[in-house]
Amino acid sequence: MLLLWGYIGLLMGCEQTPSPQKPSETPTPKPNESKVQAVGPTPTPYQIDLSEVSLPTSDTLQKDTLGLFFCLDISGSMGGWIENKKKIDISKEAMRKVFTQIASYVQSHPEKKVEVGLCSFDHRVNLLQPLETFDQNKLERMIQPLQPSGNTAIGDAILLAFKEILKSGVETKAILVMTDGENNRGVPPELAVDAIKHDRNNRQVLTADVDVFLIAFDVNASVFEGVKKAGAIVVESRDQKSLEGVLSSIVEQVLLEAK
């Protein structure tokens, strides 16, 4: 304050006697006066659009039926090598063994109707076979020409499989995804799984009973921690032997639940 008055006196060309300094006063807060932190709008949870999906009625629901939909990664990284084999070829061999496993189940459980669907995905999702009565020879023909290229749209593949399963009206529902990399196209897989597990869709359809399995092939399972937290079962596989074992175990679990 002394410096302030001295500075004013110099400006006025005269000396000023500073007035006594007043003690500092602490302002009395007004009632209900508080600091309010700005909070942005809460993001709207992802909701699945089922507008174009033909849903079954109570009359068309199929009892004693099992629907298993496979989603196979054919992105460019699946052209990589493990144990002198391309990953895409390892995945095909593992799938053939699983088809044989399902064929054995179908033969020993004639009372059960098993439907299998198949899609491949890179940066696009390709529906290879809608969910329909299991046909081992047809499925093996479908996977034979698959070749790796492009990016990785895991979430979009899950959504396609989910919609195909809903259309079928099967009783036991399972989606099995095999991938060797992170999602970098389309809907994030954790959002897709979270919407499925929390019945978030525009048709009010209950969907939490759809099981989603994800095999992290030659990639750390921690990459898919968000998918796991959303409700999927995530399993890691590093080579051909473990991939075949993991696939077989998952399919066996689904088949047992259908009994």
Number of domains the chain contains = 1
Q: Checking DSSP bridges between strand 172-179 and strand 211-217, what pairing results, if any?
A: parallel
Extract the tokens encoding 186: 């389309």
Closest CA to 187 of 195, 175, 177, 179: 195
Note whether residue 136 is domain-resident.
Answer: yes
Q: How confident is the model at residue 29 (pLDDT cuts 50, 70, 90)?
A: low
Extract the tokens encoding 137: 């020879």
Note whether residue 109 is domain-resident.
Answer: yes
Note whether residue 79 is domain-resident.
Answer: yes
147-173 burial: b if 16+ Cβ within 10 Å, else e = ebeebbbbbbbbbbbbbbbbbbbbbbb
Note whether residue 36 is domain-resident.
Answer: no
Task: Note the pLDDT tens digit of each residue in 39-90.
Answer: 667 788 999 999 999 998 877 777 889 999 999 999 999 999 998 999 999 9
Per the CB < 8 A criterion, the answer to whether 35 and 83 are in contact is no
Strand partners, 237: 217
N residues, the chain: 259
Note whether residue 71 is domain-resident.
Answer: yes
Note whether residue 242 is domain-resident.
Answer: yes
The domain containing residue 72 runs over which residues?
65-257
Residue 252 to residue 250: CA distance in whole angstroms: 5
Note whether residue 253 is domain-resident.
Answer: yes
User: Which 3 state secondary structure label does DSSP give 159?
Assistant: helix
Residue with tokens 């036991």: 172
Per the CB < 8 A criterion, the answer to whether 246 and 235 are in contact is yes
Predicted confidence (pLDDT) at residue 227 exceeds the cutoff of 70: yes
Residue 163 to residue 134: CA distance in whole angstroms: 18
Closest CA to 145 of 99, 89, 76, 62: 89
Per the CB < 8 A criterion, the answer to whether 168 and 67 are in contact is yes
Q: Which pLDDT score is estimated for 27?
A: 55
Task: Note the pLDDT tens digit of each residue in 179-206.
Answer: 999 999 999 999 999 999 999 999 999 9
Task: Note the pLDDT tens digit of each residue in 122-168.
Answer: 999 999 999 999 999 999 999 999 999 999 999 999 999 999 999 99
> Looking at residue 121, which CATH number applies to its domain?
3.40.50.410
Note whether residue 56 is domain-resident.
Answer: no
Q: How far, in Å, are 47, 70, 78, 176, 241 from residue 86 at the CA level? A: 37, 20, 7, 21, 14
Residue 221 to residue 215: CA distance in whole angstroms: 8
Q: How many CB atoms lie within 10 A of CB 70?
A: 27
Predicted confidence (pLDDT) at residue 10 exceeds the cutoff of 50: no
Per the CB < 8 A criterion, the answer to whether 89 and 64 are in contact is no
Q: Rounded to two decimals, what is the model's pTM? A: 0.84
